[in-house]
Chains A and B, each alone.
Chain A
Amino acid sequence: MRPQLSLAPDDGARLAFERDWLRRARQSRRQTLVWSLATLLLLLASVQLSEVTTSAVGAGWTERVADFIDRLFPVLRLDSLFAGRDVTGSLARWYYDLPRWLAAMRETIEMAFVGTVVGGAIALLLAFLAARNLTPHRGLRVFIRRGFDFARSVPDAVLALLFAVAFALGPVAGALTLIVTTVGALGKLFSEAMENAHGRQIEAVKATGGSWILQMRYGVIPQLLPQLLSYWLLRMETNLAIAASLGIIGAGGIGIELDRSISFIEFDTYLAILLLTIACIFMLDMMSELIRHRLTGPSH
């Protein structure tokens, strides 16, 4: 039996509620529709603009991809896997230039290290000036913040191209690029962390008569050190990946070897170097993650 809705004494109130509810539901549905249409429009415009449909890839690309995949994988034979370099199907033949690649990998790691250390140091100094609650000068703060934004917006590869013109192709251009992007990224993170710092500890140093520099040294750094170090190590991981890729446009390190293998159409070599790079990045990431967990662990 259906409930007798019309018998309720507060019928008017119920109807008003129902009407309001329907209106809200309609409004919400309309909003969803508008957003969906806007998204669809954006996608259609993107397809049109990106020239995907009229792209030069054209016909026959399936064969090309198939051919590429065929060339990508090395010839490996189980029986001669650990044989010398001159035997077809051995690992040694696949990784025929390993010492050189390792040297390039070392260069990549060094670029990332130098870039993160110098960039992190500059970012730390500037972050004190860019944090709202710490800065000694408002105008300076806005200026530095804009600088951080700019350093993060310029694509790293474009910076690397410019540095390569000035400093010649090679790791110096890569390291400088990493310094600039690191200052932008870490400067923002550091200054935001500092804006959330406890004021009491800063006030404590100020109240004893400590100068601004000492307020930063004892009021800010001790309380934020684990967090800042953790950000710094995370950036080291990111920079390692960027350093590996910057070589592709000539800024030193393993990327140069990747680029060379592509221009010689040695796709299996490319895969070899890529796997090597991934392994190195993965191992260093694991190390950094271990340290980060110890830093932010419950025992400090």
Chain B
Amino acid sequence: MLELCNLNCRFGDVIAVDGATLTIAPGEMVGVIGRSGAGKSSLLRLINRLYAPDSGEISWAGQSVTALRGKALRDWRRRATIIFQDYNLIPRLDVLTNVLLGTLATRPLLPSLFKYFPPELRALAILELDRLGMADAAFKRTQFLSGGQQQRVAIARAMLQNSEILLADEPVASLDPINAEIVMQSIADINRLRGLTVIVNLHSIDIARRYCRRIIGMSHGRIVFDGPVAALTDQAVAAIYQGVPQRAAPDDPAAEMPLAQMALAI
């Protein structure tokens, strides 16, 4: 059970996440929607502890992860793996090494520094790549791959982390429709067949409706919607995307209208 309790995070004057409270059962697949800048990315980075919360609690399986430091923190990052919109691979390294970077948290330092990984891990990496149809590219430099291929490498890397939670930050926003389907299907399979808890930020409400059973809507750092996909009516979407700001002064409403309409049109 992943529990967030009154989670706050701000950068200077910008409120990234504002009082987020949330409970997610193990094995759920949750979609997070909202305008860009609504705090979706920050929420995932807070769970993975790439960002430190200013206040509030995060706990997993009854254990708090808010105050973890050092090795325990790194192990938490391994267990709550994250994949990014821009794939965040190392372009000048080959695909296999990129995938093997997922094992860094559990390996001794010295062999890792010299880029040595034991054969069973290399085998695991190849098999994970093979499941995503990428085994043939194992020795290509990542910079020469297409976006869809890069995101599949990133998923293989996440799988090597042997994690319990998969956080996906706009995994298909930079992809063409075909590759977007492949990547979303892989994530759904990981959720269904391996039982990983999945939280996925999505730009497209259509994709969110098709792949997720539960939807969370965010606006101005707050969670403004939380319910089954059936409850996500057009009115609810409009509310999420219009987002009545609670603390910050409202922006020019005329400038916000087209965005809201765009969200409805999707």
| A and B in contact, CB less than 8 Å | yes
CA distance A207 to B84 in the complex (A): 10
A sample of 6 inter-chain contacts (CB < 8 A) reads A203-B88, A207-B48, A208-B104, A208-B161, A209-B77, A209-B78
Tell me the dominant secondary structure on chain A's binding face: helix
Given A208-B77, A209-B74, A214-B109, 6 more contacts at CB 8 Å?
A: A200-B86, A201-B89, A207-B48, A208-B81, A208-B104, A222-B91
- Is B93 in contact with A210, judged by CB distance below 8 angstroms? no
Chain B 98-132, CB within 8 Å of chain A: the 1/0 string?
Answer: 00011011100100110000000000000000000
Indicate whether B75 reaches chain A with its CB closer than 8 angstroms: yes
Indicate whether B82 reaches chain A with its CB closer than 8 angstroms: yes
B78 / chain A contacts, CB cutoff of 8 Å: 208-209
Indicate whether A219 reaches chain B with its CB closer than 8 angstroms: yes
Q: Closest CB-CB distance, B256 to chain A, in whole Å?
A: 30
Q: Closest CB-CB distance, A132 to chain B, in whole Å?
A: 17
- Is A209 in contact with B90, judged by CB distance below 8 angstroms? no
Indicate whether B67 reaches chain A with its CB closer than 8 angstroms: no
192-240 of chain A: CB within 8 A of chain B: 200-201, 203-211, 213-214, 217-219, 222-223, 225
Indicate whether B257 reaches chain A with its CB closer than 8 angstroms: no
Indicate whether A29 reaches chain B with its CB closer than 8 angstroms: no
Indicate whether A300 reaches chain B with its CB closer than 8 angstroms: yes
- Is A207 in contact with B93, judged by CB distance below 8 angstroms? no
Indicate whether B50 reaches chain A with its CB closer than 8 angstroms: yes
CA distance A219 to B88 in the complex (A): 10
CA distance A200 to B41 in the complex (A): 14
A218 / chain B contacts, CB cutoff of 8 Å: 90, 93, 101, 104
Shortest 7 CB-CB distances between A and B: which pairs?
A209-B105, A204-B88, A209-B78, A209-B74, A209-B77, A210-B104, A222-B92
Partner of B104 from the list A203, A214, A222, A225 (CB cut-off 8 Å) is A214
Q: Which of A203, A208, A214, A223 has the most CB of B within 10 A?
A: A208
